[in-house]
Structure formats: structure tokens, C-alpha cells
Chains A and B, each alone.
Chain A
């Protein structure tokens, strides 16, 4: 890891304040932290990347070979401007979260979690962690947005719980695996208060 990545990793460590915020869940939240992903995460990556339940609303199909997954990590993950593994206490990833620049002032957040870990508030915590840090890290960013399939209610709830604003439904916005989809647009501004 570069020094920059180490610094980013340290800044993404979850602190006790974040734990208190997520206490509204009915069950104790899983403790997670964010760190850069590496090639050594390949086997954990395969767990969620081969799962068609996970990829249902992703533009990509489930991975079927370790080689293609390695290529993805080399070609997309490692050069990505901002992508983090979502890790449990044992530092093993159970998903990933990323912020991709749309233009000079807009970034788009995306996240994916292994289905075994759904329903535990993990995505919500990961998004909250990013929302708390990203505007300090990228002061030129005026807007963090997210586009969610109209049928992906779980992911819409994640964003609403963190405090993203639902701006509207963009009709016929993009193709997902051969079908044209309506997408819900969410945004978070540096001035918005997090839930």
C-alpha cells in the first residue's frame, strides 16, 4: 500500500461515534471498517461477485472464473480513484463501496455486499462512513449522488437512512441486462445533515 492508501485506511477506521449512531437497529450492528482492496482479497471477492442475487441490479453479470475476477481487480479496482473493501473485524471483505467522479463537482456512490450479510445495517454503515469523510477528502465535490433501480428497495432504504435526498425517478434512464430501467436519483450535499 502507498502512504496515501495507508492514510486513507486510517481515516476510514470506524470510531465509537459511528457505533452509537447505528444503535437504532434492532440487533447490534456488525462492526465494519473500510480499507483499500488488494489482489489478496480475490477469494473473498469471488463470494459476492459470483452471486446472482448480489448482481441482480448491477450492470455486470456474476463472475464465473477466478481469472476474470483477477482481471477485474487489476483493471478496475486497483486503478480506481476511490474504492474500498467493506471489512468485518477480521479484516476480510464482505463487499465494496466506491465513489466515482461524474464530473468536476459530482461523484457517484456505489456499493455491493455479499447476500449473507444483508439486513444487518452494513451497507448503511458503510455509506454513512463514506458520507462523513468524502467531502473533506474531496473538497471540490459539491454533490454525491446515487442512482438506484426503482425495484431495488433495499438500496433505496440504505440511502434514505443515511440522509440522502430522493430527488426523483428518472424514467427510461439506462439499460440493465437488456431491459430499460427507471432509476431513482438520490443526492447528498456537503451541507446536508447525516441521520
Chain B
């Protein structure tokens, strides 16, 4: 699912609280990106290793972020990103959601708002999608709570499901269907 260039993508404003907005990321976000990308506590459950230099950050944004089919910076009122949220195609009818937030902004409901915003819009944007899913490490309780708060269904623990950073992890599968109610 190749997306249009980011200039023509709609900027999503936020849910009723109005605290965050979503927009495409740009290279000028690199310094804000480095805040979370260099943090091992943030990277703990991510497939990527922490970023080691600004140049590496620029390269990663250029090669992987700007080219991503669907990725949005999560921004506060000052339009500066505190994380990002993305949607990956799994197959013709399934997409997977992922998100990362700088640690300073954990525990305030920002990820929940971002996930709720995306979930509310994604089926209109991709009408062929029958299922939005998320895979969360069994130990990543914070991220599990985000999905539960939005109204995702916890389907079960997939044992020894995913090889990440040298170990095989149990992952919890969550899903949200077009017919599900958003919480």
C-alpha cells in the first residue's frame, strides 16, 4: 500500500482532549527523534537498537522513516514530535499498528490518544482492511494497557512468536475490527 507523498497527507488533529496531533515526520525532526531513539528504555521492546549518533539518526529517518508507507509523528501543541505511530501492511486484509513515545511522556495517556485517533480513521482510509492488529511483548504491560483502553481485544498469548535482540519472545496478540466500538 504505497502512500501519496507526505505533502498531500491530511494532518490528523486529535481526539476531544486536543492534546496531540499527527503529521508526517521530516528530517527537521531529527533532534526530537534522537531523544527517544537513543533511550534504551524506549528501545527495550522495539526491534531496533538505540541510535548512536545524529548522523545515524539522519540516515535512519531518510532510509526508513520517510520511506515508510504510513508513519506519523505524534506532536504536542508546539508541533514537536514526542514519538511516532505507524501502520504496517501484513496482508491484503490485515494491518499492524506500532508506536513509540519518548519516556518523559509515558504515563500521561498520549499513546492512548494517538492509537485511538489512528484506529478511528484507519478503516476509512483503507476500506479493504478487515483487521487491525498489534503484537506486544508479554512484559510490555504499559503498551498492553494502551490497547485495552482504546478497545482492542486481547486474543491470546502467542508463545515463542518473535525473535528479537537475540531472544525468542512470547507476544500478546490484540485486534480491532471495523465493527468494534472505540472506547
Q: Which residue numbers of A lie inside 8 Å of B, CB to CB?
A: 103-106, 142-143, 165, 167-175, 180, 185, 187, 189
Q: Which of B157, B160, B168 has the most CB of A within 10 A?
A: B160
Judging by beta carbons under 8 Å apart, are B163 and A185 in contact? Answer: no
Chain B, residue nearest A188 (CB): B159
Chain B, residue nearest A102 (CB): B161
Contact (A169, B155) CB under 8 Å given A175-B93, A180-B93: yes
Chain A, residue nearest B154 (CB): A168
The distance from the CB of B19 to the nearest CB of chain A, in whole angstroms, is: 31
Contact (A180, B161) CB under 8 Å given A167-B156, A174-B93: no
Q: Which residues of B contact A170 (CB under 8 A)?
A: 155, 173, 175
Judging by beta carbons under 8 Å apart, are B159 and A143 in contact? Answer: yes
Q: Which residues of A contact B160 (CB under 8 A)?
A: 105-106, 142-143, 187, 189
Say which size band chain B's interface belongs to. Answer: 10 to 19
Chain B, residue nearest A167 (CB): B156
Chain B, residue nearest A104 (CB): B163
Residue-wise interface mask of B (105-135) relative to A, using a CB-CB cutoff of 8 A (1 in contact, 0 not): 0000000000000000000000000110000
Judging by beta carbons under 8 Å apart, are B159 and A167 in contact? Answer: yes
Bound complex: CA A174 to CA B159 (Å): 21
Contact (A185, B158) CB under 8 Å given A172-B177, A180-B93: yes
Chain B, residue nearest A103 (CB): B163
Bound complex: CA A189 to CA B158 (Å): 11
Judging by beta carbons under 8 Å apart, are B131 and A173 in contact? Answer: yes
Q: Which residues of A contact B94 (CB under 8 A)?
A: 172-173
The distance from the CB of B166 to the nearest CB of chain A, in whole angstroms, is: 12
